[in-house]
Amino acid sequence: MLEINANRPYWVSALKQTRGKDRHALVVRGYANFDFYKTISVWNPWSNSSYGYDLLDPSSHLISTHGVVFKQDSGLFSWHYL
């Protein structure tokens, strides 16, 4: 798993895929980009996993948390980075 530069965080925003227009913000913490395995690891403050991290599928842009599916539709590098 490769880590994202701590001085240049990447934020993603995701839209709820079922009823409602709820949005969810996540912080990308690392990624794996191998021929046989691709995933993005995100810190999710609402995660029900014991370690607080979830996986975002880079192909479908989907993430599931608490049984609700969200789709990543935007992202932003930290505006504090120069």
CA 66/CA 10 separation, integer angstroms: 23
pLDDT exceeds 80 at position 66:
no
For 14, phi and psi rounded to 5 degrees? -135, 145
User: Does the model's pTM come out above 0.85?
Assistant: no
Residue with tokens 């965080």: 9
Query: Is the pLDDT reported for residue 2 higher than 60?
Result: no
The pLDDT, as a whole number, for residue 13 is 87
Per residue in 4-53, pLDDT (tens digit) is: 666 677 888 889 998 777 888 888 888 887 878 888 888 887 777 777 78
Q: Regarding the domain delimited by 2-77, which CATH topology (the fold level of the hierarchy) does it fall under?
A: Cathepsin B; Chain A (3.90.70)
Beta bridge partners of 64: 69
